[in-house]
C-alpha cells in the first residue's frame, strides 16, 4: 500500500514547490514545511508516512534523531548534489534513500519502499 501522507522539507523554495506539485500525482496528501521545527510539528499533525528531507536542512545526526523520534515515518533524503558517499551516509543514518532533489521517480520509489534493480544515486 502506498503511503498516503507526505511532508516535504526542502531548503530551496522552487525545488520544494516542484516536488510538492509532482508528488500530488503519487500521494493523496502532500504538505510542505520550511525547516526542521516545522517538520517535527508536521509529521505527527499530518500522520506523515513519509518525510522528504533536504540534507541542506539537516545534518546526519539530526536525521538520526528524527528517525528515532518518528520511527514509523520513512525518511527519504534529497540533495542537489547527491552522490554515492552522501547516499551511503544517509542510509547509515536511517534514510530509505538519498536522491537528487529533482529525481521524482527515485523519491517515489524510495517512499513506497520499491527499490529499482539498478539505481544511480549520483546526479
For the whole prediction, is pTM greater than 0.75? yes
Q: pLDDT by residue (tens digit) across 106-117?
A: 999 999 875 444
Cell of 73: 515515518
**Mean pLDDT (the chain, rounded):** 89
pLDDT value, residue 123: 38
Q: What pLDDT is attached to residue 107?
A: 95
The pLDDT of residue 2:
58
Q: 82 or 50, which is more confident?
A: 50
b vs e for 25-64, b when ≥16 Cβ sit within 10 Å of the residue's Cβ? ebbeebbbbeebeebbebbeebebbbbbbbbebbebeebb
pLDDT for res 31: 96
Give residue-wise pLDDT tens across range 61-104.
999 999 999 999 999 999 988 788 889 999 999 999 999 999 99
Q: Determine the pLDDT at residue 120.
A: 42
pLDDT of residue 53: 97
Amino acid at each position: 500500500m502506498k503511503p498516503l501522507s507526505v511532508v516535504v522539507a526542502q531548503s530551496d523554495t522552487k525545488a520544494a514547490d516542484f516536488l510538492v506539485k509532482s508528488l500530488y500525482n503519487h500521494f493523496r496528501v502532500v504538505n510542505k514545511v520550511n525547516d526542521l521545527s516545522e517538520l517535527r510539528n508536521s509529521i505527527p499533525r499530518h500522520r506523515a508516512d513519509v518525510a522528504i528531507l533536504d540534507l541542506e536542512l539537516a545534518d546526519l545526526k539530526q536525521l538520526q534523531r528524527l528517525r528515532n523520534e518518528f520511527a514509523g515515518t520513512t525518511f527519504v533524503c534529497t540533495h542537489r548534489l547527491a552522490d554515492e558517499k552522501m547516499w551511503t551516509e544517509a542510509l547509515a543514518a536511517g534514510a530509505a534513500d538519498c536522491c537528487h532533489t529533482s529525481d521524482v521517480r527515485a523519491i517515489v520509489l524510495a517512499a513506497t519502499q520499491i527499490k529499482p534493480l539498478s539505481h544511480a544515486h549520483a546526479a
